[in-house]
Amino acid sequence: MRAPPGNRSDYRWFLPMPTRWMDNDIYGHMNNVQHYSFFDTLVARFLLAHGVLDLKSSEHVGLVVETGCRYHAPLAFPDEITGGLRVTRLGTSSITYALALFRNDEERAAAEGHFTHVYVKRAAQSETVPLPAALRAAGEAVKG
């Protein structure tokens, strides 16, 4: 039995994101690969907003080691999407985000997914490091 779509109230941090004409596929809705692009943008903007990530000089970076998506309803240009984010797990060197895409002003998620980042030294990208203190604080604030 499949769980019902989540609601906006299930998420803690939000980002408005417009769809683009190129997001649609030949079937007239947003192609599934675009959902992951929106998820990636949502997480990156969360990290930037909380001072965790400096695109040019961060010594430690999060690499995606697991991701998934459940599709509940179609999205399409010119929909306005609101991305929702909460943290579901804070480990020693990893963090898991629950993510959602909401169409226009709808309360139920059109798509829900997750990302798990493992933090590594940027230079080596194979040596794990503890989560940065700023990320742990930001993650605790949106844990749910």
Q: State the total domains in the chain.
A: 1
* Residue 109 placed within a domain: yes
**Average pLDDT of the chain, as a whole number:** 96
Indicate which CATH number applies to the domain containing 54.
3.10.129.10
* Residue 1 placed within a domain: no
* Residue 81 placed within a domain: yes
Domain that holds residue 39: 8-141
* Residue 105 placed within a domain: yes
The token pair at 87 is 């943290």
Q: What Rg do the C-alpha atoms of the chain give, in angstroms?
A: 16
For residues 135 and 47, the answer to whether their CB atoms sit within 8 Å is yes
Percent of the chain with pLDDT over 90: 92
- The pTM score is 0.95
Across the range 52-77, mean pLDDT stands at 94
Residue located via tokens 């779509």: 5
* Residue 2 placed within a domain: no
* Residue 27 placed within a domain: yes
pLDDT class for 42, splitting at 50, 70, 90? very high
* Residue 56 placed within a domain: yes
d(CA 3, CA 24): 26
* Residue 85 placed within a domain: yes
Cis ω before 78 (30° cut-off from 0):
yes
pLDDT score, position 3? 86
Across the range 81-105, mean pLDDT stands at 98
